[in-house]
Every structure is written in structure tokens, then in C-alpha cells.
Structure 1
Amino acid sequence: MNSPAHAPVIRLQDVSRTYDDGPPALNDVSLTVRPGESVAVLGPSGSGKSTLLNLIAGLDRPDTGTVTVDGVRVDRLGEAGAARYRRAKVGMVFQFFHLLDDLSVADNIALPARLAGTARGEAHRRAAQLMESLGIDRHARAHPTRLSGGERQRVAVARALMNRPALLLADEPTGALDTAAGEDVQALLRELNADGQTLVVVTHDVALARACTRRTLHLVDGRVASDTTTATAAGAVR
């Protein structure tokens, strides 16, 4: 069940996660993200960024505390439930795209809908709409290996949006791109957020955070060191 329109998309309450005998990867973290917010999670290696992303995505469970995304108690889900949750609620974009090279662009984009049980024709109609809106419709029959890095990331974003997720998670989305392609992806993320897409970007890149988000969360040693908000993302069109 979806949350009411005014309810947070993400709510973490007193979340901690420790691996083996090491220090906590996350230590008593609470976080609320409202619908339509754009949030960057910054921090050095080992600060807890990846752990936070994995908990929100249902790829891991906290030792203590609760994780709720769009009305779903993610920390309570088993493996099968977590897979269904990711298909329905979360779109994920990664640094290295993770596209399937033996499938066409259109089939890569349609895949999440097909896995969710959507009929092939309906899935490909939705994929066609996304390709047109993201400017990659001319590549529909191409395979990912024929595309530039920026084009492949646009395909990955389209795939992430396929099932109309409540939340888009981007993990270092420009890390494998040259400067021009990275700026193109930054602009795309700003546009998606301007259209109402809730966005969380996990990165070590301060410039990326400033370019495409309005709120910045700094993690240090598994704790929230600061949480700041600006009026608009740098370079955003108003």
C-alpha cells in the first residue's frame, strides 16, 4: 500500500548496522525524505554511504531501528519480498550501468516491467515513452555496447523509471563518465526531480551533489554529521 501523499517517502528511525566485529557502519541514524525532495548523501570511504543505500534498497537489514519506504517496512522483508519491493518502489542507477549487453536498449528498459508481470506490449509502450522523453529513442534496437557512456546511463535511468518508482536511488551516477556526459546526466537528474521524482544520490563528489540536489547529508563514521538544504540545485532551471 502506498503512503498518503503527505507522508515521507523514506523514514529511518534509530538505524544501526554493524558487520562482524568492526565499528558500526551506521550508528543510530534517523532520516526523513519527503516526496519530491532531492538529497545527496556525501562522505568519505567507510562513512556508511553504501550501507545506507543498501538498507533503503532492501539489500541489507539493520541490526536495530526501522526502515520505511513509501509505506513499506523494508527492514521486515524477506528475500522474495525485498525483490518485489525493489521492482515496485525503487529505481536504481549505478556507476557502471549494469545493462545486459545481449539485449537491445528497448528490451533492457522494459525488463523490470516484464519481471513484474507486465505484458510485453504494454512494457514496450512504456519503454518507448521513456526513450522518447530521455532522447534515446533512436537507439531502441541498438545494443548497449554500441552506445557512449552518457547514452548508456540514460538507458539505465530509463530502466530505473520503468515501473514508476516512488524513489530513484543513484549510486555515483557520473563516476564512469567524462565531464560532458557527466554534466548531461546531472541535468537529467535535475529535470526528473523538477518533475516531482524523489531522488537520493549517493556520492563522494561534492560538485555532483551541488549540481543536482538541494539537500546534502554528510556521513562521518556512520553518523549524520550535517544535514543542509539550499533553495535550488546549482544550475537548475526554474
Structure 2
Amino acid sequence: MTQPMIELREVSRRYDDGPPALHEATLTVRPGEAVAILGPSGSGKSTLLNLIAGLDRPDTGTVTVDGLRVDRLGEAASALYRRSRIGMVFQFFNLLDDLTVIDNVVLPARLAGLARGVAHRRAVEVLELLGIDRHARAYPGRLSGGERQRVAVARALMNRPALLLADEPTGALDTAAGQDVSGLLTALNAEGQTIVVVTHDLALARSCTNRTVRIADGRITEDVPSRAVTPEAAR
């Protein structure tokens, strides 16, 4: 049987003296799945993503990604895990405006120790794959929102991650650019990329994922095929 890409078991996380941000969450994601995490602000979906990314640790429970116990990692090992096993895409791109597109994309590979020439060739390949190689020498500030998000995805894919995490990837985009990014995620998943998307965007969940997990008040309350999710699940 194929090993899960993500396996959370009875995971809880509480901040200060407030209610749990996440309460006894159990979730399994198989390789090649595209999963949307839906829920209102404060529901716990970003906490869930941060735990998978190793940016936070659970108070109780276990987090395993690609066979690695993420909840046990120290700071240095956690940083290495993020560089080598996962790619992350954010709502506001997080590109460096003083670097060209190709230099932004090359950066994760260089931080991972890949030789400059090898990293550059890999970056060219990824930019071509995503259809933005013509912008390789441009600066991010000269690109549209959709193009910048494509650059962010290219950067996230540089180290060939087993898992792609996207946090509100269409949240800062207009409708047309959002559809462009949705199509890109759909195409990547069709090629076998495992994807987890945190979003308020029901249309994104329906179009580019095959499964939707709903969170409310820190609890997983629904886990259904994306096309079966109702509008209420995104609120």
C-alpha cells in the first residue's frame, strides 16, 4: 500500500489561553491528491498548513510528511525539510523585487546547495514549463499579478518538492488571473504533483482540487470530493 504523503493523527494546537486553534485533527493525504482546506478566518486552516510545513509544532499528536515525523524536527532540520521536501506559495507572492524573475526562482536551489549552473538550467526548465520563460530577465514589479504568482509557483517547484502547499494563492488576484493560477495548479496535479490549498475561494476548490476538507472552530467537520462541496463550506 502506498505510504501517505501527509498523515496527521489527533493533532491539537493551542495559543495562549484561548480555545484550541486546532483540536484533535486527523487527516491523511495520498500522493497525487489535490486537497482544498476550506473554512472561515480563524477556523484553524492556516494553523493546519503551518504544522504540515513545520513552521509550528503541535501540542499533542503527530505530523508525518513523506515518511518524515515533522513534529519532531529541530529548527535546522525543519528548515532543511522545507527546502528539500515541500514548496510553498503565498497569497502575496513574497518575491524579491530587486532580483530578476530567474534569480528569484534560482534562490531556493542555491540555498539548498545546488551548483549555480545546474540551478540556472533547472530554473529555465521550470519557467518554460509554466509558460513564463519570456519574463526571465524582468523584475517582478513589471509583471501582472497572475504572472507573479506563476513565478512564485516556479520558485516553489525548483527543488522538485514531494508536496506543494498554497496559502490563498488567488487571494490577491483578479478573477482572470485567479483562473490562470487555478489552471496551473490543475495541470501540475495532473502530472502527479501532490497539492494542498488553503483558500476561501470555492471556485478554486472546485476547479483544481479533487477533495475538500472543511475546518470550523479548529475541528475537521467535512471531508468530501471537491465537486460535492456546498457554498456554505467556504464561509
Partners in 2 of 1:45 and 1:28 — Cα distance? 19
Aligned length: 229
Asked if residue 91 in structure 1 is aligned to residue 84 in structure 2, the reply is no
Q: Give unpaired runs (5+ residues) of structure 2.
A: 229-235
Match of 1:204 in 2: 200
Q: Secondary structure at the match of 1:12?
A: strand
Question: Is residue 53–residue 86 contact of structure 2 (8 Å, CA) maintained in 1?
Answer: yes
Match of 1:170 in 2: 166
Question: Is residue 206–residue 226 contact of structure 2 (8 Å, CA) maintained in 1?
Answer: no
Match of 2:217 in 1: 221
Partners in 2 of 1:83 and 1:197 — Cα distance? 21
- CA RMSD, Structure 1 to Structure 2 (Å): 1.4
Partners in 2 of 1:231 and 1:171 — Cα distance? 20
Cα deviation, residue 6, structure 1: 1.3
Cα deviation code 1:7-61 (max 9, x no counterpart): 0000000100000000000000000000000000000111101100000000000
Q: Could you state the TM-score of these two structures normalised by the residue count of structure 2? A: 0.95
Q: Secondary structure at the match of 1:169?
A: strand
**Equivalent in 17, 20, 23 of residue 24 of structure 1:** 20
Cα deviation code 1:112-148 (max 9, x no counterpart): 0000000000001000001111111111111111111
Partners in 2 of 1:43 and 1:146 — Cα distance? 33
Match of 1:150 in 2: 146
Q: Secondary structure at the match of 1:23?
A: coil
Q: For structure 1, which segment, 199-208 or 34-43, has the greater mean C-alpha deviation from structure 2 after superposition?
A: 199-208
Cα deviation code 1:145-192 (max 9, x no counterpart): 111111000000000000000100010001111111110000000000
Match of 2:232 in 1: none
Partners in 2 of 1:133 and 1:231 — Cα distance? 28
Match of 2:231 in 1: none
Q: Secondary structure at the match of 2:21?
A: strand
**Equivalent in 13, 29, 32 of residue 33 of structure 1:** 29
Report percent identity of matched pairs: 75
Cα deviation code 1:54-86 (max 9, x no counterpart): 000000000000000001110011111110000
Partners in 2 of 1:214 and 1:111 — Cα distance? 31
Match of 2:47 in 1: 51
Match of 1:42 in 2: 38
Partners in 2 of 1:43 and 1:204 — Cα distance? 7
Q: Could you state the TM-score of these two structures normalised by the residue count of structure 1? A: 0.94
Q: Runs ≥4 in structure 1, deviation > 6 angstroms? A: none
Partners in 2 of 1:80 and 1:180 — Cα distance? 40
Asked if residue 68 in structure 1 is aligned to residue 59 in structure 2, the reply is no
Q: Secondary structure at the match of 1:219?
A: strand
Write the letter of the residue equivalent to 2:199: T
Cα deviation, residue 231, structure 1: 7.5
Partners in 2 of 1:226 and 1:130 — Cα distance? 35
Write the letter of the residue equivalent to 1:189: L
Partners in 2 of 1:207 and 1:147 — Cα distance? 24
Q: Give unpaired runs (5+ residues) of structure 1.
A: 233-238
CA gap 1:141/1:166 in 2 versus in 1, 3 angstroms = same
Partners in 2 of 1:46 and 1:90 — Cα distance? 24
CA gap 1:131/1:26 in 2 versus in 1, 3 angstroms = same
Partners in 2 of 1:121 and 1:187 — Cα distance? 30
